[in-house]
Amino acid sequence: MNAYIPQYRLTLTAGAHSARHIRRIVRSLLDEWELQELSDAVELGVTELVTNVVRHVPDRRCALLVLRLAGAVRVEVADGVPELPYTTPQLSAEAEGGRGLVLLDAVVDKWGVGARSGGGKTVWFECGTP
């Protein structure tokens, strides 16, 4: 049995253009893994998670993990901030933020967040899961 799981790992300090570069990487991985039909959802999801790092993590450090599953993809973004993200039940039309997780929920099959051992959290999502 082959224990190899196709994956991509990246540790970075996220900046204003990081999401654009990570979208390109993800698109390339999905092409290689022949999962192009997941590109729109995965690219949007990873954009939201990286943008949250830029907005809410003081040092902007994070680790990205992209895993190929059976016909699916899992993306994890971990950072050192222990506060868990939350969705805002009622947003005003003028609100500049607070829609990222609502949008994520609308385009991925499942997502979640959990505390990391040693501090911080990991926000993850999966696309293409049955």
Closest Cα to residue 39, out of 113, 108, 124? Answer: 108
Give the model's pLDDT for residue 85. 80
Over residues 102-128, the pLDDT tens digits come to 889 999 999 999 999 889 999 999 999
Q: Average of pLDDT values for 45-55? A: 95
Give the model's pLDDT for residue 5. 76
User: What pTM, to 2 d.p., does this model score?
Assistant: 0.89
Give the model's pLDDT for residue 92. 56
Measured N-to-C along each axis, helices 39-56 and 18-32 cross at an angle, to the nearest 10 degrees, of 150
Euclidean distance between CA atoms 85 and 51, whole angstroms: 13
Over residues 80-97, the pLDDT tens digits come to 999 888 666 665 555 555
Q: Average of pLDDT values for 40-47? A: 96
Give the helix/strand (H/E) hosting 4. Answer: none
pLDDT classification of 1: cutoffs 50, 70, 90: very low
